[in-house]
Chain A
Amino acid sequence: MPLNNDLSLKNFPKNSEAEILHVPKHSLLAPLGLRKGKKIKILSSQAFNGPLVVEIEGRQIAVAKDIAAKILVRHEVSAHAAI
């Protein structure tokens, strides 16, 4: 999937909700709930170019910006099932 900046989690505004479209390969992301189709909310972006703090189904995870840049999301949460 091409990296499209508009879709990158890194550029998403704080306190907004989005739906995850694509997650890069990483052994910790899936078990922490960062999977395709999940709703994600950005709680904060840390100082000094630190990580993003996100919430998925009530669980909070800090994700470095380098990784967040590769997570693709879209704003509207549509009803269609994740494939």
Chain B
Amino acid sequence: MPQFENKENKVLLMGPPNVGKSVIFNHLTGLDSAIANYSGTTVDYKEGRITYRDDDIYLIDVPGTYTLDSSNEAEQVAVDMLNKGASLLVIVLDANNIESSIYLLLQILEMGIPAIAVLNRIDLLEEKGYSFAAEAFAEELKIDIIETVAVKEFGLAELKNKISEKIQIENQKKLPKKIKASWKNAERLSAKYLKQKSKKAKNKREELGDKLSSPWPGIPLALLILAVIFAIVVGIGMGLRQYVLLPFFRGLVFPQIYRLVTMFTTEGIIRNILVGEYGFLIKGLEWPFALVLPYVLSFYTALSLLEDSGYMPRLAVLLDGLFNKIGLTGGNIIPLLLGYGCAIPGIAATRALATRKERITVAALISLAVPCISQTGALISLLAEESILVMFLVFLVSFLAIIGAAIIMDKSIEGKNEPLVLEIPPLLIPEPKMILRKVWLRLKMYISDGALMMIYAIAAAALLYELGILEQIGRLFQPIIEHWLLMPSEASVPLILGVVRRELAVLPLLEMGLNSVQLFVGAVVALFYVPCIAVLAMLAREFSFIFATKIFLFTIGFSFFIGGIFARLGFLFI
């Protein structure tokens, strides 16, 4: 439960999806709520604080909702928040889609809570040649209204003042006029105050938006865009690693570390723990920062561009037909793509899916067969130098597994998928500042959550290795690793570490001198192996402990099973 559940000065930021609530929230609170150009970016509430003079005002970013009749779990959060009450509501209207915004406004006002209306995205409205008489509209409803262009920060200072004014001055708390929430009233109000100033043909950006969402030329363009993105992610990632980060660490940093460590330690266990086989001063820097970080950087740059431009829903529309054939719907591409970054936001994003069945299916697919970017980086490090072919084979196996698992889950989970109804937002040019900020946030998160965790795990491994405990544990796995997977017994190390983080199921394989078949088998086992601990915890939280346990057991069983089969097939060919 939120800490200020019962606090005074609770302000809810509500409105339809994709109107810019999170942009406003971030500006007012200095926090970082996720922003992207599609419906259902915010899937849970987020709390922030505005300090104004002596007052603390608690602002809550709420998931967007088209109406108060929720159509998914994210929208349900919004309805629940509203039902719990607040001191003040800030209701953000989409100037670009004013009619349905007015309907939602009327619905929310029926709750009888003091409110301020915000008319956002007026830039898009003007661009279409329309204007909305906000003052007169507000007059009729007896509500305060503020016009904003959140991305340009226009009107936000005024909004902040208005919020604190409303909170501070008791007699300001008079309620807006109650008008019955009906489509007839919304249409009437919209018709009365929305005026067309000039007829404008679609501009270049809008035309491009249309092209991207029609089969021709949308499908070839989609293939091109995805190929370019793949090339950028892998190319920039590899380039950074090969020509910048590895030379930096290996040429400059590591020699210094060796020098210092040998100066202060004698030959033996301490020195080995620091700079030996799993020496955590070496691997603890090289793995997270030289091998994985470049891909985190390149992937999130590409993903942020996809998110902010509004391309993701277009991709969803193009893919819907194909996805239906394997028991998914087009909208599922959004959580899946997010899962290629990290499973946790991917699974969170399933809250915006229409049915429980889809949620469970997509969450399971992400946990089983979608490698997160850290693991992808590790896989590329492991495989690309050895053989590009093996790398492509591993990605092919991952795709086939997603398709197979989707079909099986569709058949085995009761119920039908909800047919697609999806808003295609206007195509927007991503703001470089926003992209930089998003990538920076991701990097910070990777370092504080991912890299640090990796360093701890490596330190623990170094210690256990030097104490001979790792070998003992390894012996337990030995039969299955040597006789079933046909790998050297040291390959138990990644399987132990891999429970902590996905890429650690891969990285220890780097210096084992494996042949191509073993590399392939190791990579495939890692791919299907247990998603990391944090993901299991997320699954337990979002679904149930039983579901998380099932995923845990299944991924272990399946990864070994498939690995052994590939090991045999592979050796047939050599």
Contact = CB atoms under 8 A, between A and B. Distances in A.
Interface of A: 26-33, 35, 43-51, 53, 57-67
14 contacts: A27-B69, A28-B66, A29-B421, A30-B67, A30-B183, A32-B421, A43-B213, A44-B214, A47-B219, A50-B324, A51-B422, A59-B97, A60-B213, A62-B421
Interface string B121-163: 0000000100000000000000000000000000000000000
A60 B211 CA distance: 13
Interface string B303-342: 0000000000100111111101100001000000000000
Which of A30, A31, A35, A45 gathers the greatest number of chain B CB atoms within 10 Å?
A31
A26 B66 CA distance: 12
A32 B325 contact: no
B97 A64 contact: no
Given A26-B421, A43-B214, A44-B214, A35 B183 contact: yes
A48 B317 contact: no
Interface stretch (B98-106, B225-233, B250-258, B495-503): B98-106
Most central of A46, A53, A63, A67 by chain B CB within 10 Å: A46
B419 A67 contact: yes
Q: Do most interface residues of chain A lie in helix, strand or loop, or is the interface mixed?
A: loop
Chief secondary structure at chain B's binding surface: helix
B320 A51 contact: yes
A35 B103 CA distance: 13
Contacts of B422: 51, 61-62
Contact of B67 (A31, A35, A53, A65): A31
B395 to A, nearest CB: 23
A29 B420 CA distance: 11
B99 A57 contact: yes
A53 B71 CA distance: 21
Contacts, number: 104
Nearest to A49: B321
B421 A44 contact: no
A44 B215 contact: yes
A59 B128 CA distance: 11
A48 B321 contact: yes
A69 to B, nearest CB: 10
B16 A48 contact: no
B318 A46 contact: yes
Given A28-B66, A28-B71, A31-B103, A53 B214 contact: yes
B423 interface: yes
B521 interface: no
Given A31-B66, A63-B420, A67-B419, 20 more contacts: A27-B67, A27-B70, A28-B421, A31-B104, A32-B423, A35-B183, A44-B214, A47-B219, A50-B317, A50-B321, A50-B330, A51-B321, A53-B424, A58-B128, A59-B96, A60-B213, A62-B320, A63-B421, A64-B420, A64-B421
A32 B183 CA distance: 12
B100 A60 contact: no
Contacts of B104: 31
Contacts of B420: 51, 62-64
B471 interface: no
Contacts of A26: 421
A47 B216 CA distance: 9
B317 A32 contact: no
For the complex of A and B, list the 3 residue pairs with the smallest distance between their C-beta atoms, beginning with the closest: A50-B321, A48-B321, A64-B419
Contacts of B330: 50-51, 62
B210 A43 contact: yes
Interface string B419-442: 111111000000000000000000
Given A27-B67, A30-B183, A53-B213, A59 B421 contact: no
Nearest to A45: B215
B421 A49 contact: no
A51 B104 CA distance: 26
Given A31-B66, A50-B317, A51-B317, A44 B213 contact: yes
A66 B424 contact: no
B167 to A, nearest CB: 30
Contacts of A35: 183
Contacts of A67: 419, 421
Contact of B322 (A33, A48, A57): A48
A36 B500 CA distance: 55
